[in-house]
Each structure stands twice: as structure tokens, then as C-alpha cells.
Amino acid sequence: MARTRRPFFCGNWKLNGSIAESLALATEVRNGVSTVRDVDVAVAPSFTALHAVAKRLEDGPVAVAAQDCFWEDKGAYTGEVAPAQLVDVGCKYVIVGHSERRQLLGELDAAVNLKARAALKAGLTPIICVGETLAERDSGETLGRVQAQVDAALADMAEADLSRVVIAYEPVWAIGTGRNATPAQAEEVHRFIRSRVAARSAGVAAQMRILYGGSVKADNIRVLMAEENVDGGLVGGASLSAESFVRLVKEGASV
Ligand code: 13P
């Protein structure tokens, strides 16, 4: 069956890397994926390396994502970074609502919505992360939790904006644990997410890319990508080595 949605793989480097290390990794990724067709690839370095990496990757096949943004354009918000500033340094995407921010920094659904809408207004594509904890999965609350996160994140978005959104399903128990969701577990939630988006717009839902994240590697991406509603990956640990990320992109794009 031909894919209806272009696969997308984004490396989330989290809190890792000097400018020099980030440049070296970005350059290797760019060189490694340059021959891969019909795929979108992005890397998300730390704020401190964004400008240098974006310059290095300019006009190439790999786009740059930030790992977070604020929702205001400017003002007395010490330590925050505005979406327009991310555009200014060369970002195309921004990750919002990552579970590490939700869990460690108390980020709430309402803030994720504000960030996603501010990103869209500035011309960025938000990659909105959702996912349940192990306790929520074990008590049968997975779909309820994901529904609440998706509905809140997409609230008050016009259809034209909604059509630019990417969602990443990242079960918290699968992040950095080496224990990834089975393809069937991922597909169940991805299908559910698409149905929530379809309640807003069937057309948007059909073309929205929904990425899976959580211990994704080159040797497990193929079975995940074989699922109808898995359109790519948001990759942590395996994106910190160019060799493993490039292999993952090649494997994932060829399914
Ligand atoms: P790992 O791939 O290291 O499990 O991290 C996933 C993630 O959080 C990507 O945003």
C-alpha cells in the first residue's frame, strides 16, 4: 500500500552537545541522508546550538527544530524564547509539550496549547507531544489521557493551522527505557489520535503526520512504520549518533 503521508523523522537531542559537537553531528546527519528520497528529516539541538546548526544545514535536506518555545512575542519573561526568535535563527519546527517538560517542569495542557498556537502564528510547525505514564496505562487510562492532551493542545486552532500540526505519541514509560511500545500498542493510540483530529476535520486528520517516540531505533522502526497510522519517529537516544539516526531514517523511509 502506498503511503499517503510523507514520513518524518526528527532527532530530539535533548540536553546534549556543545556547538562544535552539534555541528559535527548535524553535518554527518546531513551527509548521511542526502540520498534518501521522499522523507522529511529534522534535528532538534539545544537552544545554544540552534543558530550554528541552522546555518550549517541551510538549503540542505535536514531542517532544524527547537525543543520548546514560549507563547508571547516579547516582554518581561526572563529565560523564555519566542517563536519568532526561533524563526530568526533558522528553525522550521518546534517540539512542544514533551513529557520531560510536563513531568519535570510542570508544563500543563493549557500551556502546550498556547505554545503550539504561538508557534503556528510565527510560521513554525509545532510537533505536539502527548502520551500516558505507566500508571495511566496500567489503570486503563491511556486513551482518556491522550484524548485530554490532544483536545487541549488543539483547542481554538483554525482548520488551516490544524493542518500544519504534527503530533508525536510518546508513551512516557517507553522514553529512554529501551522498552518501546509494540506496533499494535502504537497503532491503537495513533488511530485514536487521528479519530480525535477527524472529529474536527476529516480532511486534516487524513493528512496529519503522527510520529511515534520512545526507544525508537534502526532495528525497530520498520515494524512501527508498517502500521497504517504511524508516519514517522521522534527519536531521542538513537539520534545522538549520526550512524544510528541515518540508518533509522533509511530503514523507516523504505517501509
Ligand atoms: P528515546 O528515543 O531516547 O526513548 O527518547 C524519545 C523521546 O523522548 C524523543 O522526544
Give the model confidence (pLDDT) of 59-101 as tens digits: 999 999 999 999 999 999 999 999 999 999 999 999 999 999 9
- 98 is a catalytic site residue: yes
Atom of ligand 1 nearest to the CA of 237: 3
DSSP structural state of residue 169 = E
Give dist(CA 248, CA 111) in Å, integer.
32
Distance CA 21, CA 4 (A): 36
Residue of minimum CA distance from atom 5 in ligand 1: 236
The atom number, within ligand 1, closest to the CA of 95 reads: 10
Q: Does ligand 1 have an atom closer than 6 angstroms to the CB of 175? A: yes
Question: Looking at this protein, which amino acid is placed at residue 199?
Answer: A
Q: Is the pLDDT of residue 2 over 90?
A: no
157 dihedral zone (left: phi>0; alpha: psi -120 to 50; beta): beta
Q: What is the pLDDT of residues 150-201, one digit of tens each?
A: 999 999 999 999 999 999 999 999 998 888 889 999 999 999 999 999 999 9
Q: Is 54's pLDDT higher than 70?
A: yes
User: Is 60 exceeded by the pLDDT of residue 37?
Assistant: yes
Residue from 133, 219, 234, 239 whose mutation best tests the ligand 1 pocket (most atoms within 8 A of CB) = 234
Annotation marks residue 28 as catalytic: no
Residue 176's pLDDT is 87
What's the mean pLDDT when you consider all of the chain? 97
Q: Tell me which of 170, 187, 190, 227 is the catalytic residue.
A: 170
* Summary count for the chain: helices (H), strands (E): 12, 8
- CA 88 from chain centre, in angstroms, equals 20
Quick: pLDDT tens for 11-24.
999 999 999 999 99
The predicted pLDDT at position 3 comes to 85
How many angstroms is it from 170 CA to the middle of ligand 1?
8
| Atom 7 (ligand 1) nearest CA | 236
Q: Residue 1's pLDDT band (boundaries 50, 70, 90)? A: low
Burial-class residue 81 by CB neighbours within 10 Å (0-12, 13-18, 19+).
Answer: middle
Contact call for residues 146 and 169 (beta carbons, < 8 A): yes
Q: Which three cell numbers stand for residue 79?
A: 529565560
pLDDT tens digits for range 101-151: 999 999 999 999 999 999 999 999 999 999 999 999 999 999 999 999 999
